[in-house]
Structure 1
Amino acid sequence: MTNQIKKPIHLLFVLGVGGALLSSSILAGATLLLAITGFAISYRKALYQAGWDKPKELRLLHFAFWFFVLVSAYSWALEGFSYEGGKTLGTHARFILFWPLIIAFSYARLGANTVFAGAGLMAASILGLFGSALIANHGSLDLLLSSRFGGGINPISFGNIALLSSFLTLTGGLFFYRSKRFPIALLFIAMGAGAAAIAMLSQTRSDLIALPFLLLLLVPLLSRNLRIVSLVAIPVVLMTAIATNERMSQSFEGFLQNDTLDSGITIRMEVWGLAWHMFAENPWTGVGLGGYTREIEASVASGESSAVLIDCCTGHAHNDLLNVAATSGIPGILGWTFLIFLPLAIFARHLFSTHVATAHLAASGSMISVGYLLFGLTEATFNRTLFLTFYLLSVAGIAAALLNELSASYVRQRTKTVSATIITMNEEDHIADCLKSARLVADEIIVLDSGSTDRTVEIAKQYADIVEVTDWPGFGVQKQRALEKATGDWVLSLDADERITPELGREINHRLAAPDADAYKLPWAVTIYGTRLDFGRSGRAPLRLFRREGVRFSDALVHERILIPEGRKTRTLRGRLTHYTHRDFGHSLEKSAKYAWLGSLEKHRKGKKTRTMIYPTLRGLMTFVQVYFIRFGFLDGAVGYLTAVTYAQVTFNKYAGLWTLSPKRENHPSVEERK
């Protein structure tokens, strides 16, 4: 039954992407069927029952797509639910299908082979469209080249999406080549090059803007020698493309001879100016989704703008950023920024991955985001159904495939010995699970206890290799003591309330087969009140794993630091370090108060001061803003809000405590003392 569902999902993705330029209905229909499948899988909870752990990267992308739709709905409501605005909102609303698509692709374990099969089919369709047009013109290539080729649709839409698909196909060719599937690799490279040449026949100037950036994204996938060659080849390819683009040549010639811009550019500059004026007049709300059209029509009617704008520019401002700024104001700008740059940041992080499939998918995803960023300089791509649906399906497919491939890539076994060190004090509720998880990656486990009065030591002896009871000199000194007892090549420093997840364990073992750094940060997944936090406080990635030689801990009373010798490389792993920060809210208050006061004492010991209560107040507010907004803590719901408030309170208490320790208050006797 499972394969009966998975295979159609792969097929629908390939057909949806591959048939996008043949008919927008193929793309839309495949996307809708995939989303319905995702809804069905989600309703049955089949993916979660299979043990799927929602990646935070996908949750972040989900937010980006939903936020864009919410801003559009907000703009439509503010303008009074106009008909024109409703049509635009209907286009944008397709983005709400992102999560069901992710569910479907994750359940089907979509991978690099399927993604590049879709790109290859799209390149083949482009070649087929060109061949059909050539036959229709009785084999006359000159007649075909004398006009802009659009494959039966708008030449701009065709040129942009055809160029992207050609580069995705080239990337697929490099992937198959690196996978030693040479015949299919050569076929894909040939199809990709042919599709790129046909895309240029659309005479779309934004293709020329995007071309060098797309070429640069291929560079990380090449061997070192080919990278050097590419630095020469890229300018040559770009100059050739410019020289053979008749519209660009005419634009240059007209500007040089008459000092005038091309009419298309002139019109765009006029409409961009109008869009900017709309934004400047309404920076927080914009003029509404339908308000842009009304403003353009009013400007033309009054004679302030060219009449030609009625024919070309009433639907959108021919620039993504200016269009959302004019219609939705600052929220629109923010929504567009999330939609472009959050996927780009997630994909670009893996561009230099040593795992072949991951690196090539990362390059493909980056190409989509960069392409839409640059195409959006002269078009409102997210107001065109074809552009928008292609972005939705391709980003969802590549993102799911990237994370599926990453999860499957941790296959090597470590060659380095690892010592896990844990310090404890009354941790009987946590210590067993902590030590069991540490054993996933550790050859040696060392526990230093500070005089627990519960069963911590007894339990630790069942799992650890070394268990010792000592005094309590502070966090930094105690962790240094544990480090000095370690004998492994590498050290994993854990707190008793932390756990190594199975996937993180596989990633650590994989990395330590051939380490590419001297130390690794392990991203936190704070878990409290039955909820795992993916953002907010979980935005941190503490240093926990390091090569032992030359490393020591600072002697801080609290919030100790691992001091790595200068010149050593540190990287951040993807897997999550589960952190059970407290048992209940009462424990949270107790622990927060303790850490805040220790923080006050530590800063006082270092000679820090705060002269007024304004500073603790501002620092508390800054912590809340950082945890709740900048680190997207609001995506963790009510628990995310509570966590942000708690950490803000800790920060306030720490600096308020420092204020009480200043010499003036410290040495001034109280009323009781004077009596």
Structure 2
Amino acid sequence: MKAPRHAYPYEATPGSAAVAGPLPLACAVITRDEADNIGRCLASVAGLVREIVVVDSGSTDATCEIAREYGARVIHRDWTGFAAQKQFAMDQCSQPWLLSLDADEALEPAARAAIEALFAGDSEPAHAGYEINRLTWYLGDWVRHTWYPEWRLRLVRRDRAAWRDYNGHDYLAVDGEVARLGGHLLHYSYRNLEHHMQQSIHYARMSGLQLAQGDRRIPISKLFFSPLGRFIRLYLLKQGWRDGWRGVLLAFSSVMSGFLKYAFALEARQARDSAKTPPDGDS
């Protein structure tokens, strides 16, 4: 479902002014069929950045057209994985600083103001990277406990940063100290519960397949302890119960994802090992 009007505080309209900002900053976004989100995302950086780069992996909707309306340079690239795709997008930017956003994210006005203040002086920002606290909109309300706070490194010196991958999860790393900015990175996560479940299974499968590629042993105990650990962390330690029924859904969806990740990994490892060892009687 779409967020209500009050959750979308931007009035910017498409046009060339969207990339006429004074900051030595580029915004990079990767997309595929994000027509419902990309306009909100790019509106939140309109007038703030000098360059917008969108790397699209084959959208069949109006994603690319909307991005171009906001002055973005749209580049097609076949899908190669999250970290590789985001690294490619960063490499296409020319500004010394990078703001990396997902298509379903947008800068809150307070976060935008914090970035403007960071570059307001005559000197360069003091740190190599800056985290922004992400606030997620989920099934009609903001999630303020289960997935919050969620600090994400999004603003970095481009020559000191790189995208990495660990067990199927992409993350942005920098060479140097990291500080935190005020305001929120607004995350408009899932259209509905079905979309959430589909995406959870999809990402769990990708993580599991990547985990299975190595030779490291995958303990069967992970099928139990990984989901249990997720539930304890989200529902109890982060007080997900304070998010009401949304907190219950989020905690148990994470339990499911944790279980499926290792289930998919074990399945893939078994299939790989079976292919290496022919059954008795075969040559």
TM class, shorter-chain normalised? 0.7 to 0.9
Q: Give the letter aligned to residue 528 of structure 1.
A: Y
Separation in structure 2 between the aligned mates of residue 469 and residue 595 of structure 1, nearest angstrom: 23
Q: In the alignment, is the contact (CA less than 8 A) between 1:474 and 1:555 conserved in 2?
A: no
Q: Per residue, is there more helix in 1 or in 2?
A: 1
Residue by residue, what CA displacement relative to the aligned partner does 1:226-250 show, whole Å, maximum 9, x if unpaired? xxxxxxxxxxxxxxxxxxxxxxxxx
Residue pair 2:97, 2:157 contacting (<8 A) in 1 also: yes
User: If the length of structure 2 is used for normalisation, what is the TM-score?
Assistant: 0.83
* SS at structure 1 position matched to 2:263: helix
- Are 1:535 and 2:142 matched, yes or no? no
Do the aligned residues in 1 keep the contact of 2:107 with 2:185 (CA within 8 Å)?
Answer: yes
Aligned residue number for residue 273 of structure 2:
667
3-state DSSP class of the match of 1:572?
A: strand
Check conservation: 2:212, 2:266, Cα contact below 8 A: no
Give the corresponding residue for 2:17.
Answer: none
> For the residues of structure 2 that align with 1:639 and 1:480, how far apart are their CA atoms?
33
Structure 2 Cα separation of the partners of residues 417 and 465 of structure 1: 16
> How big is each residue's C-alpha offset from its partner over 1:366-413, in whole Å with a ceiling of 9 and x where there is no partner?
xxxxxxxxxxxxxxxxxxxxxxxxxxxxxxxxxxxxxxxxxxxxxxxx
> Residue 539 of structure 1: SS of its match in structure 2?
coil
- The whole-number CA distance in structure 2 between the counterparts of 1:487 and 1:557 is 30
1:482 maps onto 2:126 in alignment: no
Q: Is the 8 A contact 2:22 2:48 kept in 1?
A: no
Cα drift, residue 607 of structure 1: 3.5
CA RMSD of aligned residues (A): 2.3
Q: What's the CA shift for 1:609? A: 3.1
Shift of 1:555: 5.2
With over 3 angstroms needed to count, the CA separation of the structure-2 counterparts of 1:518 and 1:450, relative to structure 1, is same
Distance 2:207 2:274 in 1: 22
Alpha carbons of structure 1 residues 620 and 440: separation in structure 2 relative to 1, 3 Å: farther
Could you tell me how far apart the structure 1 residues matched to 2:22 and 2:207 are? 39
Q: Deviations over 1:620-666 (max 9, x none)?
A: 0111111112122222221122111111211111122112223x454
Alignment partners' CA distance in 2, 1:475 and 1:609: 25
Partner of 2:154: helix, strand, or coil?
strand
1:550 Cα offset (Å): 2.8
Q: What does residue 625 of structure 1 align with? A: 232
1:583 to 175, 191, 202: 191
Partner amino acid for 1:607?
D
Specify the alignment match of 2:56 in structure 1: 449
Equivalent of 2:155 in 525, 542, 545: 545
Q: In structure 2, what is the Cα distance between the partners aligned to 1:453 and 1:575?
A: 34
The answer to whether the aligner puts 1:495 opposite 2:102 as a matched pair is yes
Correspondence for 2:34 = 427
| Other-structure match for 1:656 | 263
Cα distance change on mapping 1:535 and 1:441 into 2, 3 Å: farther
| Pairwise CA distance, 1:415 | 7.0
Give the equivalent residue in structure 2 for 1:517. 127
1:559 to 160, 169, 189: 169
Partner of 2:180: 572
Larger Rg: 1
Describe the shift of the 1:559–1:656 C-alpha distance in structure 2 as closer, same or farther (beyond 3 A). same
Taking the TM superposition and a 5 Å limit, the aligned residue runs for 1:242-281 are none
Query: How many matched pairs?
Result: 256
Q: Is 1:480–1:553's contact at 8 Å kept on the other side of the alignment? A: yes
Q: Distance in 2 between matches of 1:665 and 1:469?
A: 34
- Residue of 628, 643, 658 corresponding to 2:250: 643
Task: State the TM-score, normalizing by the size of structure 1.
Answer: 0.36
CA distance in 2, matches of 1:620, 1:440: 43
Partners of 2:54 and 2:74 within 8 A in 1:
yes
Measured in 1, the distance between the counterparts of 2:167 and 2:87 equals 12
8 Å CA contact 2:167–2:211 kept in 1: the answer is: no
How much identity, in percent, do the aligned residues show? 30
Segments of 5+ residues of structure 2 without an aligned counterpart are: 1-5, 8-20
Residue 607 in 1 paired to residue 189 in 2? no
Distance in 2, matches of 1:547 and 1:604, equals: 34
Q: State the Cα distance separating 1:501 from its structure 2 match.
A: 0.8
Residue of structure 2 in register with 1:436 after alignment: 43
Q: Is 624-633 or 489-498 further displaced after alignment?
A: 624-633
Matches within 5 A, 1:82-161: none
Alpha-carbon shift at residue 440 of structure 1 (Å): 5.3
Aligned counterparts, 1:274-289, within 5 A: none
| Partner SS for 1:573 | strand
- Residue 440 to residue 522, structure 1, CA distance change in 2 (3 Å): farther
* Secondary structure at 1:438 match in 2: coil
User: What is the CA-CA distance between 1:558 and the residue it aligns to?
Assistant: 4.0
Q: CA deviation at 1:557?
A: 8.3
Shift of 1:603: 1.8
Q: Report if aligned partners of 2:230, 2:255 keep a CA contact under 8 Å in 1.
A: yes
Q: Name the CA shift for 1:511/1:587 in 2 (closer, same or farther; >3 Å).
A: same
- Supply the AA of the counterpart residue of 1:553: W
Which structure features the higher share of strand residues? 2
Change in Cα spacing, 1:609 to 1:454, as seen in structure 2 (3 Å) is farther
Give the conservation status (yes or no) of the 8 Å contact 1:556–1:602. no
Query: Is 1:464 matched with 2:104?
Result: no
Q: Does 1:507 align with 2:117?
A: no
Cα distance in 2, alignment partners of residues 594 and 573 from structure 1: 32
**Could you tell me how far apart the structure 2 residues matched to 1:608 and 1:581 are?**
33
- Cα distance per residue 1:530-581 (max 9 Å; x no partner): 110112222221111111123221256842122212xx11012231111111
Contact 1:609 1:658 in 2 (8 A): no
Contact kept in structure 1, 2:146 and 2:240, CA below 8 Å: yes
**2:54–2:75: 8 Å Cα contact kept in structure 1?**
yes
